[in-house]
């Protein structure tokens, strides 16, 4: 399928779109200037600070820039920042912005804008809230310098500001960043390598990003979220499609790139001509089976422990993913292959022990409700295996089938099972979200104020604080390992292992960046 200029205008207000297109006849066709993509989800919310949805985060990376960003080794590197000056007592951080940064509307990026942006993020994001709690003052010094003054030394300032996954502290113009944190922003002006074409945005169908010509990339090569972000196409188009349609469209060349290939379809696409499948995500995804700590029988720690002993990671991955190229056994709560990986405290399968524990727990056949999202290609088999494995030790399991959106609603219920409550659900986090004790929202143990499942554990909170305040990398590692042991011992969740969702693309696409998050700079399409 060749792509005509007209394709781009299909069904849109043609005049508005034309204005954004280069005029004159089509350029030489050696390099195409449009990249057609099917992202992993339907973009509905445009405010990546307001929501933690991954698709809104990816949208954020298209149009916004960040002060710091994680590189291939998950180390924070300056991105919008030219130079960083940390005082000897580690209390004062001065970040100087690079020259030439401008917003999409042409005005210059100032330190004021960045301060407002950090403040808004600090109200919503978990790591941001922690940072703000130790912050004494956050202010602009002139138009270039952002000055952060802390109350006490804090170990993860740059890890927070350079956070790779939701919520990412994206920089927005002050007028936008002054939107109350619990209200969505409407203005999509950013300073990133692409601009959002809001006039032609059709939620549920199409989102268009156009190259921001005045973006000044860093000189370094791209490395995960860090390095030079060079937009090599004039336009990136995100289409919403279901898996089957996306596969067909990729095979027939109607799209160039599919962000998340459903496991079952990997083999078909591998055989298709001119299509490639590749895993670009080094830290993968972490499968979780979460317990509800408020509702019987999973409010009983011994029952949780028995269930953990009944589960065998291998079985989950084999059934849900199938192809061993795309999964990895992992006993760590942090992605295997990253800094804090550890086997400490992992609960291995032991059916005899599990049965004994269950007997001692006083469990007497109460129903255990699992929320099963049947429309989800990975979580659905996870639930089925979970049910089989814990039935085997004598638990009375009730699988409640529903769609994923309904799971998201039902899991918010703290009621007992007979009033619409639940005991377990399966979910996943991208590895980038669980690289350390603070990034993982699910690691939280703040009880009913925290994440679904509402685990409450003072000890775990102390360990997270210890990590945040760690003086050295060794101390940090120690705190991270202690937290892992604590979470396993307390039956925080069942670790279902690591899996990878590959991308599928036409062989004309080049320049993909290996990262836990999908970026579209640096990518190009041959004609």
Positions 208 through 267 that interact with another protein (CB under 8 A) = 239, 241-245, 247-249, 251-252, 254, 262, 264-265, 267
Name which position in 149, 319, 356, 469 contacts another protein (CB under 8 A): 319
The residues near 71 (Cβ < 8 Å, ≥ 6 apart) are 77, 223, 224, 225, 226, 227
Restricting to residues 368-387, name those near another protein by CB under 8 A.
372, 374-375, 377, 380-381, 384
**Of these, 451, 469, 485, 512, which contacts another protein (CB under 8 A)?**
451
Please state the closest distance from residue 348 (CB atom) to another protein, in A: 22
CB-nearer residue toward another protein: 142 or 203: 203
3-state secondary structure of 367: strand
Sign (positive or negative) of CA dihedral 253, 255, 261, 265? negative
Candidates 24, 204, 273, 365; binder of another protein (CB under 8 A) is 204
**Cβ distance to another protein smaller for residue 343 or 507:** 507
Q: Which of residues 267-286 bind another protein (CB under 8 A)?
A: 267-268
Toward another protein, which CB reaches closer, 16 or 471? 16
Residues 347-366 that bind another protein (CB under 8 A): none
Residue 512, classified by CB atoms within 10 Å of its CB into exposed (0-12), middle (13-18) or buried (19+), is middle
Does the footprint of another protein cover residue 427 (CB under 8 A)?
Answer: yes
Segment interacting with another protein (CB under 8 A) among 19-27, 447-455, 457-465, 476-484: 447-455
Helical (H) or strand (E) element with 334? none
Out of 51, 361, 469, 485, which residue is the one contacting another protein (CB under 8 A)? 51
| Ordered alpha helix ranges (H), 282-401 | 301-310, 313-320, 351-361, 379-391
Find all residues with CB under 8 Å of 437, minimum gap 6, and list them: 340, 443, 463, 464, 467, 479, 480, 483
Q: Does residue 416 belong to the site contacting another protein (CB under 8 A)? A: no
- Rounded least distance, CB 288 to another protein, Å: 11
Sheet with 285-291, strands from edge to edge, namely: 327-328, 493-499, 285-291, 424-430, 367-373, 396-402
Residue 119 binds to another protein (criterion: CB under 8 A): no
**Chosen residue from 45, 134, 302, 344 binding another protein by CB under 8 A:** 45
Report if residue 19 touches another protein, rule: CB under 8 A. no
Per DSSP, the residues of 113-164 read HHHHHHHHHHHH-HHHHHHHHTEEEEEEETTTEEEEEESS--TTHHHHHT--
By C-beta, is 44 or 396 nearer to another protein? 44
Nearest distance, CB of residue 400 and another protein, angstroms: 8
Q: Could you give the C-alpha distances from 250 to 11, 49, 207, 366, in angstroms and in order?
A: 21, 32, 18, 48
Q: How many residues bind another protein (CB under 8 A)?
A: 71
Q: By rule CB under 8 A, what string of x and - marks binding of each residue 486-515 to another protein?
A: ------------------------------
DSSP class of 78: E
- CA dihedral sign of residues 481, 484, 490, 496: negative
Min dist. Cβ of residue 69 to another protein (A): 21
CB of 326 to another protein, least distance (A): 14
DSSP assignment string, 412-441: T--S-GGGT--SEEEEEEEGGGGSSTTT-G
Nearer to another protein, 79 or 372 (CB): 372
Q: Least separation, in Å, of the C-beta of 13 and another protein?
A: 9
């Amino acid at each position: 399928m060749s792509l005509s200029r007209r394709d781009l205008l299909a069904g849109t207000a043609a005049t508005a779109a034309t204005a954004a297109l280069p005029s004159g006849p089509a350029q030489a066709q050696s390099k195409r200037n449009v990249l057609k993509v099917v992202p992993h989800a339907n973009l509905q919310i445009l405010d990546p600070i307001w929501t933690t949805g991954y698709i809104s985060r990816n949208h954020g990376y298209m149009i916004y820039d960040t002060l710091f960003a994680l590189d291939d080794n998950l180390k924070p590197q300056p991105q919008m920042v030219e130079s960083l000056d940390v005082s000897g007592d580690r209390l004062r951080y001065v970040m100087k912005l690079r020259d030439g940064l401008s917003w999409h509307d042409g005005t210059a990026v100032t330190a004021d804008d960045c301060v407002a942006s950090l403040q808004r993020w600090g109200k919503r994001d978990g790591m941001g809230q922690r940072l703000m709690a130790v912050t004494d003052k956050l202010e602009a010094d002139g138009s270039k310098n952002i000055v952060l003054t802390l109350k006490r030394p804090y170990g993860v300032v740059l890890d927070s500001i350079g956070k790779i996954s939701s919520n990412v502290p994206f920089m927005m113009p002050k007028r936008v960043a002054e939107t109350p944190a619990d209200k969505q922003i409407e203005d999509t002006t950013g300073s990133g390598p692409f601009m959002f074409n809001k006039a032609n945005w059709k939620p549920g169908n199409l989102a268009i990003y156009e190259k921001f010509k005045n973006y000044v990339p860093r000189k370094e090569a791209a490395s995960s979220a860090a390095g030079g972000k060079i937009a090599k196409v004039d336009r990136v188009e995100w289409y919403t499609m279901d898996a089957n349609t996306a596969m067909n469209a990729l095979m027939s060349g109607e799209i160039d790139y599919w962000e998340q290939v459903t496991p079952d379809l990997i083999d078909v696409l591998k055989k298709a001509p001119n299509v490639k499948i590749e895993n670009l995500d080094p830290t993968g995804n972490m499968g979780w089976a979460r317990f509800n700590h408020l509702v019987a029988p999973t409010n009983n720690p011994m029952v949780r422990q028995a269930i953990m002993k009944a589960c065998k990671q291998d079985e989950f991955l084999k059934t849900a993913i199938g192809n061993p190229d795309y999964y990895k056994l992992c006993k760590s709560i942090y992605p295997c292959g990253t800094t804090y990986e550890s086997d400490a405290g992992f609960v291995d399968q032991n059916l005899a022990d599990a049965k004994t524990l269950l007997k001692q727990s006083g469990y007497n056949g109460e129903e255990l409700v699992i929320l099963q999202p049947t429309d989800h290609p990975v979580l659905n088999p996870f639930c089925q295996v979970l049910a089989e494995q814990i039935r085997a030790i004598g638990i009375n399991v009730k699988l409640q089938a529903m769609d994923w959106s309904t799971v998201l609603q039902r899991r918010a219920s703290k009621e007992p099972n007979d009033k619409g409550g639940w005991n377990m659900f399966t979910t996943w986090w991208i590895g980038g979200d669980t690289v350390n004790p603070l990034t993982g929202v699910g690691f939280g143990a703040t009880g009913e104020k925290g994440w679904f499942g509402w685990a409450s554990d003072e000890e775990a909170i102390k360990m997270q604080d210890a990590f945040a305040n760690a003086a050295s990398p060794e101390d940090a590692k120690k705190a991270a390992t202690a937290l892992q042991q604590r979470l396993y011992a307390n039956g925080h969740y069942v670790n279902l292992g690591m899996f990878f969702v590959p991308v599928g693309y036409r062989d004309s696409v080049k320049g993909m960046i290996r990262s836990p998050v999908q970026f579209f700079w640096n990518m190009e399409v041959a004609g």
